[in-house]
């Protein structure tokens, strides 16, 4: 067995035949697998070819704007929800308190979907209001009592200010952040040691304890800034849920103002994957884990109802999210895959649940409506290419069989007008040989059965299923041609030579395959008891 850090093994010099050939390891286990979207993790995952690769993570949903399910072809052998883990005694219950915070976030700028850190810091650390907010936080800290607490702050200045105020009130506290050099700052390891021994009572941190912290005796977490990501919220909550002798539950203090996504925590605490569209929903209807408590300040209910009344339309939410993603891409118009990759999970769910507003169904029309088409795209939009691309964006995908046929036409970007039996067979087998795609070949298919299939059986399946249905439902674009398995009508000859057409076709196919497997996984997940 070899145990390696990603920082070491991910170096290019080690990913060579000189050190480890690609098949060197039979079995690879990657912890914190949600980081597999990042460059060093990806280098390792993409280089090695083990017989079995296992990824472990507590937060499989999107982090850093990417989705790790895609890397695994949505193949999930086992998972356990927060509710199940608490019910089984693997984690302690929580007592969650939603506390009304008068902080007004309406004037703050958002960049890349997040509040501007400098503006947040000024709001929390400047003037008389800052002191009154510290007084409020301290009051609730004392009310619910704690021996070892962790507070999540927005910046080093905010963490320093909180540590200063708590120390001034007689509660030994430190601030922990990268390159710590402030009056109240402490080295991470030293701070953890002191908290465990109770030399200090509170750590105020900035992006340092979302994962990798193991203080089982931690009995309180405080959310002192807007928590805009469900993934980060659950990561931070998880820091205090470890079991420990004498620890009955974790107190969670969430200070909530009128920021976007305020009040969604109870839904996440119940084990929900994505947030509901509205801020208000009857928390009495939500089933929480055993022995857990969720309590809201009544003033927050009024706040959530007011926010609902002022909420944006679905169309405007999607438009705003598009421009937020574009900003993250430094002004580049996002492809379908880029929009999916960086789009907020909940806005994406809105798209899926509102077909008329779903930009992924007719993306060129969506871009045209925003005035975002390039000159080449305007030319494509005015011709037959637009309707053909719309066809493959919207063609029925109850099964995945059409994709390898369409990929045979796409031909890695060198688009064909007609495909032979041999070309169809090559694309078909390439597709179903990839990852665990073979499972979708037929109901109850096993890998052994799949490997024994002949080329004739593969080709028969392709002709009887997707090729037949493309001809039937392809709006006349897919036609028969002597000597070929399937063809696109001749008038498309000029369109397929356009680089813009090829780029959009490849983007559509990549997105539709990804969305098929995402949807298949979601359906499988809903069927679990």
In a domain? residue 329:
no
Q: Are residues 142 and 289 in the same domain?
A: yes
* C-alpha closest to that of 179 among 207, 151, 149, 150: 207
pLDDT value, residue 62: 55
pLDDT value, residue 180: 79
pLDDT tens, per residue, the chain with 529 residues? 999 998 899 888 999 999 999 999 999 999 888 777 677 788 898 899 888 889 888 776 654 545 677 677 667 778 888 888 999 999 999 999 989 988 888 778 877 667 888 998 998 998 777 889 999 999 999 999 999 999 999 999 999 999 999 999 999 999 999 887 889 999 989 999 999 999 999 999 997 776 666 789 999 999 999 876 777 888 888 889 999 999 999 999 999 887 766 667 777 787 665 555 554 455 566 788 889 998 888 888 777 777 666 666 788 889 988 998 898 888 999 999 999 888 877 788 888 888 888 999 999 999 999 999 999 999 999 999 999 999 999 998 888 899 999 999 999 999 999 999 999 999 999 999 887 788 888 888 888 999 999 999 999 999 998 999 999 887 899 999 999 999 999 999 999 999 999 999 999 999 999 888 887 766 555 444 4
Q: Are residues 280 and 400 in the same domain?
A: no
pLDDT value, residue 77: 79
pLDDT value, residue 427: 96
Q: Are residues 107 and 51 in the same domain?
A: no
HSE-up of residue 369 (Cα within 13 Å, Cβ side): 13
Number of domains in the chain: 3
Q: Are residues 238 and 370 in the same domain?
A: no
Tokens of 326: 């574009």
Of 271, 291, 309, which closes a domain? Answer: 309
In a domain? residue 410:
yes
Q: Left (φ > 0), alpha (ψ -120 to 50) or beta: where does 334 sit?
A: beta
pLDDT value, residue 35: 78
- The DSSP code for 491 is G
In a domain? residue 319:
no
CB 255 within 8 A of CB 224: yes
Residues forming a β-bridge with 149: 202, 220
Of 292, 309, 326, which closes a domain? Answer: 309
Considering only CA atoms, give the Rg of the chain. Answer: 27
Domain coverage including residue 403: 361-527
Of 21, 49, 80, which closes a domain? Answer: 80
pTM score over 0.75? no
DSSP string, 357-417: G-TTTSHHHHHHHTT---HHHHHHHHSHHHHHHHHHHHS--SSSTHHHHHHHHHGGGS--S
Q: Are residues 95 and 76 in the same domain?
A: no
Q: Are residues 432 and 403 in the same domain?
A: yes
HSE-up of residue 10 (Cα within 13 Å, Cβ side): 13
In a domain? residue 457:
yes
DSSP string, 222-245: EE-S----HHHHHHHHHTT----T
* C-alpha closest to that of 224 among 206, 248, 240: 206
């Amino acid at each position: 067995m070899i145990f390696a850090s990603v920082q070491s093994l991910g170096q290019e010099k080690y990913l060579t035949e000189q050190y480890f050939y690609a098949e060197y390891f039979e079995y690879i286990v990657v912890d914190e697998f949600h980081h597999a979207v990042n460059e060093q993790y990806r280098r390792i995952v993409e280089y090695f070819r083990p017989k079995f690769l296992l990824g472990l993570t507590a937060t499989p949903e999107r982090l850093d704007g990417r989705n790790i399910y895609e890397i695994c072809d949505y193949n999930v052998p086992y998972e356990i929800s927060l509710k199940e883990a608490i019910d089984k005694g693997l984690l302690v219950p929580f007592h969650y308190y939603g506390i009304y915070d008068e902080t007004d976030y309406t004037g703050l700028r958002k960049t890349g979907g997040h509040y501007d850190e400098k503006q947040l810091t000024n709001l929390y650390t400047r003037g008389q209001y800052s002191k009154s907010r510290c007084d409020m936080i301290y009051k609730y800290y004392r009310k619910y009592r704690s021996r070892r607490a962790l507070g999540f702050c927005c910046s080093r200045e905010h963490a320093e200010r909180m540590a200063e105020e708590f120390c001034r009130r007689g509660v030994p506290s430190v601030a922990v952040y990268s390159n710590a050099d402030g009056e109240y700052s402490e080295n991470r390891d030293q701070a953890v040691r002191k908290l465990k021994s109770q030399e200090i009572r509170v750590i105020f941190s900035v992006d340092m304890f979302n994962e990798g912290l193991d203080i089982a005796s931690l009995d309180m977490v405080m959310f002192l800034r807007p928590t805009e990501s469900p993934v980060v919220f659950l990561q931070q909550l998880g820091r205090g849920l470890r079991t420990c002798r004498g620890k009955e539950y974790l107190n969670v203090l969430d200070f909530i103002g009128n920021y976007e996504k305020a009040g969604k925590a109870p839904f996440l605490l119940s084990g929900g994957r994505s947030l509901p569209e509205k801020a208000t929903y009857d928390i009495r209807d939500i089933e929480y884990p055993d022995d857990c408590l969720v309590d809201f300040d009544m003033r927050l209910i009024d706040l959530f109802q007011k926010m609902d009344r002022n909420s944006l339309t679905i169309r405007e939410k999607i438009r705003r999210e598009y421009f937020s993603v574009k900003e993250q891409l430094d002004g580049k118009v996002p492809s379908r895959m880029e929009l999916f990759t960086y789009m907020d999970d909940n806005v994406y769910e809105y798209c899926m649940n509102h077909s008329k507003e779903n930009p992924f169904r007719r993306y060129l029309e969506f871009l045209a409506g925003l005035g975002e088409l390039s000159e080449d795209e305007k030319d494509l939009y005015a011709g037959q290419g637009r309707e053909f691309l719309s066809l493959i964006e919207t063609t029925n995908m109850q099964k995945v069989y059409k994709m390898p046929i369409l990929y045979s036409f796409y031909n890695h970007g060198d688009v064909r007008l007609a495909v032979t039996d041999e070309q169809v067979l090559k694309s078909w087998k390439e597709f179903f040989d990839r990852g665990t795609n073979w499972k979708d070949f037929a109901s109850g298919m096993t890998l052994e059965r799949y490997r024994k299939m002949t080329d004739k059986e593969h080709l028969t399946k392709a002709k009887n299923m997707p090729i037949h249905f493309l001809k039937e439902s392809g709006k006349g674009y897919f036609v028969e041609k002597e000597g070929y398995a399937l063809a696109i009508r001749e008038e498309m000859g000029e369109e397929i030579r356009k680089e813009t057409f090829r780029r959009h076709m490849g983007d559509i196919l990549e997105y539709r395959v990804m969305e098929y497997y995402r949807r298949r996984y979601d359906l499988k997940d809903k069927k679990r008891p």
